[in-house]
Amino acid sequence: MIPELGQLSLILSLCLALLLGIVPMIGSYTGHRNWQALAKPLAAGQFVFMSMAFLVMAQAFATDDFSVAYVANHSNSQLPLAFKLSAIWGGHEGSLLLWAYMLVGWTLAVAVFSGNLPRIMLARVLSIMGLVSTGFQLFMLLTSNPFTRLLPYPPADGGDLNPLLQDIGLIIHPPTLYMGYVGFSVAFAFAIAALLGGRLDAAWARWSRPWTIVAWIFLTMGIVIGSWWAYYELGWGGWWFWDPVENASFMPWLMGTALIHSLAVSEKRGIFKSWTVLLAISAFSLSLLGTFLVRSGVLTSVHAFASDPARGAFILAFLIVVVGSSLLIFAMRAPAVRSGSGFSLFSLETFLLVNNVLLVTTCAMVLLGTLYPLLIDALGMGKISVGPPFFNTSFVPLALLMALTLGAGVTARWKTGAGQYLLQQLKWVAIASVALGLLTTFIAHEGFQIRVAISMTLVFWVVLASGKSILNRCRHKSSLWVGLKAVPSAVWGMHTAHIGLAVAIVGVLMTSMYGVERDLRMEPGDSVELAGYTFRFDGVRPQQGPNYLSDYGTLLVTEEGRQVATLHPEKRMYNVQGSVMTEAGIDAGLTRDLYVALGENVGGDAWAVRIQVKSFVRWIWLGGILMSLGGCMAVLDRRYRMRVHARKTEMTDAVGAAARV
Amino acid sequence: MRRVLLLLPLILLLAMGVLFYRGLSLDDEVPSALVSRPFPAFELPSLTDPDRKLTQDMLKGEISLVNVWGTWCPTCYTEHGYLMELQNRGVVIFGMNYKDDTDKARQWIAELDNPYKEIFVDDGPMGIELGVRGAPETFLVDAQGVIRYKHEGDMNERIWQEKFVPLIEKIEIEQIRSGGQ
């Protein structure tokens, strides 16, 4: 009975979404105020019913209701409760439910937090989100109903969640990532609403900015968590594979990053507006493309859900309708006239333009690499696969060019900009960066390496230029401290995110250049030395987990006779699916990770063991965290908080006034 | 004129749409192009013993699987345990190590165990012959060395039971009949 209530909620939510997509939109053209005003209650109602559907699903998982096909396929009575609940998004139908729920959540958030938007604009934004939501809920009900029952003979127990996914990483990775994907729908809705109203102005850019940044923060964290999860869960120390689905999350991120920068120009200088709108459409379109790629079976990937041609066809049609109609609106309504205000060659506008070109080029490169096998195949020119070498060789130079532009960009000023000024500002920064870059490669024990020298120079370039830019702001203040305190939080955020990029580059560079690994056969008592650490193998013993049996290894790590860590790599045999998973034993550190994975038993007490010392690997994720942190600081800036505050006072005034009457 | 330029993204999208639509239908077309053809001829080094050359002749004599894999492929890692399981059940599996670092591949085998009867190493040409779109892919080859089925993506119990087992039974019946005549 209860699952049917879930399905009913879903249908009601779809009806409300459809109303939301139609009524306020028509109202915005006919001028019916109460039609426009319906947007908010409809968004709220949609959220209520979607929440009910989601809760029903959670209840079915928590109580092991295996009469629901989706629960039977993805959960098991032995599974710990936390994994039962996270199994909600462990498969296609449930993750779609989560996706739709989040979209509805974002819609509600826009309804609640956009009190200062003009009524018509708000009605259109919510209406557009309602249309997108309608598409997703239709998709769910027509092709992927999560509440389908296995009646009258439900299985006695479930098929269990893929062991790869029974991990804290899975509990948080997909929701975070989806929050980012879906969050771009807000920027998208703002862009389309602005196009429809013919109001591509600074106000539109200012409204879009915080929403875009919040979505971008989630997406950044989602990617970081995914990479970290792959690192410790897949068991061979890789952290990025250029897998099609990883690419599908990376492309919206690149576009979103470009969008954040482009929105800044549109807000401050009123230019690049058509470009910004196009980026907003692209970022969300690429999120939709990601959904299509994962769920249609067009590309094979570790992430791929069980594919079904009907689903693929539906998403493809949906994708073409949503993106096609927005691009058509774009072609008809975007300002075709070049904006009047010019800017000079060394101005901030130029550097942001270069930044955008680089980010979009990178995105196009990733898109090409991801779709190339499909393209060649469709043209009947044979079959190929594109591997990491293609992506690495094209990505690295682009990323380094971005770092180069970044240093100059944070120093340059709006509109006017003389090469002379930049030279004078950055002369010492450049000299110091090259000196420090060269110094790093000589300190590192393997002698001079040109790749390290260039990359580290650019890393120092970004950090020093950012530092210099902050100091410049403090120059005319009475003391450094007073100056630093006066720097707005948004500016701190920007620099934090930029330094995050530098930190991530250090991580990628050092891990690939100085990481070492050994594979060997070890018997209890055997020792091996690697990068100054001694690893002693203390054997493997069996251990019983909640729903698996584990071979639990122990390695003692010492450095110059001093104990550094005890590592416990494991091999887990999951009872229900009979699959074996490796859990790496990791000792994390700021400058290195000690990483041990257990292979097979190779006779007697001897085991195959893979030992890795991964230099600075944490910095990759630390960089991502700094970027997200920077985003948070930008969103929490006073100018956004003041608006909320102003609205609150307005509201209390209104309530007060109402009370007096 | 600039208005026309603004139409460019839409045109790009439509072109991509056509591509994806083709992509959706391709899945069915790919195997049909190869099914019922003899496994393409090759002479490639063995992974475990690079001096020894392996050829398509080793596939003849009994029903076998040819699994395309690489250490760079996360899904291969996921399916590895299941391949071991199949080997334990007596299924003959040949491996094609595809576009890989052979040292890493040998480590992988040493570490994760070897489900393959033989492994041959290919840097790309064979992959094109076979229409490999991405690892892992698994071919079902009959006792005459003719490809009977191709599966893209990981092997698991469901795929095995639904796709492979019925076909293998059919091939076995065919063989008994042709042997009897």
Which tens digits make up the pLDDT trace of A15-72? 999 999 999 999 999 999 999 999 999 999 999 999 999 999 999 999 999 889 889 8
Quick check: B10 and A331 CB within 8 A? yes
Contact indicator for B68, B138 with CB cutoff of 8 Å? yes
pLDDT of A103 over the 60 cut: yes
Which of A321, A333, A385 would you mutate first to test chain B, the one with the most B CBs within 10 A? A385
Quick check: B13 and A371 CB within 8 A? no
pLDDT of residue A229: 86
To the nearest whole Å, the CA of B144 is away from the closest chain A CA by 25
- CA pair distance A398, A402, nearest whole angstrom: 6
Name chain B contacts of A192, Cβ cutoff 8 Å.
none
pLDDT top residue among B131 and A271: A271
CA-based nearest residue in chain B for residue A312: B24
pLDDT top residue among A307 and A592: A592
- CA pair distance B96, B81, nearest whole angstrom: 17
pLDDT-derived band at A436 (thresholds 50, 70, 90) equals: very high
Give the C-alpha distances (Å, rounded to integers) separating A312 from A307, A454, A518, A618.
8, 44, 43, 37
Token output for A93: 């139908």
Reported residue count of chain A is 661
Quick check: B20 and A377 CB within 8 A? no
pLDDT of A635 over the 80 cut: yes
pLDDT of residue A661: 40
pLDDT of residue A122: 94
Quick check: A304 and B127 CB within 8 A? no
CA-based nearest residue in chain A for residue B104: A519
* Sequential DSSP letters for A95-140: HHHHHHHHHHHHHHHHHHH-TTS-HHHHHHHHHHHHHHHHHHHHHH
Quick check: A377 and B77 CB within 8 A? no
Q: Which of A91-95, A101-105, A632-636, A648-652 has the lowest mean pLDDT?
A: A648-652
Quick check: A319 and B3 CB within 8 A? no
Which tens digits make up the pLDDT trace of A358-398? 999 999 999 988 888 777 767 766 556 667 778 888 899 99
Would you write out chain B's pLDDT as a tens digit for each of its 181 residues? 567 888 888 998 898 888 888 777 654 444 446 777 888 888 899 998 888 889 888 888 889 999 998 887 767 777 888 899 899 888 999 999 988 888 888 888 888 889 999 999 988 778 777 777 667 889 999 888 888 888 877 788 888 888 898 888 888 888 777 764 4
Quick check: A300 and B111 CB within 8 A? no
For the entire predicted model, the pTM comes to 0.80
| Percentage of the residues of chain A whose pLDDT score is greater than 90 | 50
Quick check: B26 and A377 CB within 8 A? yes
pLDDT of residue A553: 92
pLDDT of A428 over the 50 cut: yes
Please give the average per-residue pLDDT across A73-87, as a whole number: 87
Which of B11, B13, B79 would you mutate first to test chain A, the one with the most A CBs within 10 A? B13
To the nearest whole Å, the CA of A289 is away from the closest chain B CA by 10
To the nearest whole Å, the CA of B65 is away from the closest chain A CA by 19
Q: What is the mean pLDDT of chain A?
A: 86
- CA pair distance B152, B130, nearest whole angstrom: 12
Which tens digits make up the pLDDT trace of A476-486? 778 888 888 88
Which of A300, A307, A607 would you mutate first to test chain B, the one with the most B CBs within 10 A? A300
pLDDT top residue among A651 and B54: B54
To the nearest whole Å, the CA of A479 is away from the closest chain B CA by 51
Quick check: A378 and B23 CB within 8 A? yes
Q: Which of A198-207, A337-346, A349-358, B82-91 has the lowest mean pLDDT?
A: A337-346
Write the single-letter amino acid at A385.
S
pLDDT of A341 over the 70 cut: no
Name chain A contacts of B26, Cβ cutoff 8 Å.
298, 374, 377-378
Return the beta strands (E) in A359-446 as ranges: none
pLDDT of residue A650: 46
Quick check: B127 and A387 CB within 8 A? no
- CA pair distance A14, A539, nearest whole angstrom: 57
Quick check: A327 and B10 CB within 8 A? yes
- Residue A248, classified by CB atoms within 10 Å of its CB into exposed (0-12), middle (13-18) or buried (19+), is buried
Which tens digits make up the pLDDT trace of A502-525? 999 999 999 888 888 888 889 999
* Count of C-beta atoms within a 10 Å radius of residue B140: 20
CA-based nearest residue in chain B for residue A281: B9
* Count of C-beta atoms within a 10 Å radius of residue B165: 11
pLDDT of residue A134: 96
Question: What value, to the nearest 5°, has the Cα angle with vertex A69 and ends A65 and A74?
Answer: 80
Residues 6+ apart with CB under 8 A from A222: A173, A174, A176, A177, A178, A179, A180, A249
pLDDT of residue A413: 85
DSSP conformational letter for A89:
G
Of A243, A297, A600, Cβ closest to residue B27: A297
Q: Which of A123-132, A140-149, A249-258, B25-34 has the lowest mean pLDDT?
A: B25-34
Cβ pairs A/B, distance under 8 A: 127
Contact indicator for B93, B83 with CB cutoff of 8 Å? yes
Name chain B contacts of A578, Cβ cutoff 8 Å.
81, 85
Which of B2, B3, B5, B6 would you mutate first to test chain A, the one with the most A CBs within 10 A? B6
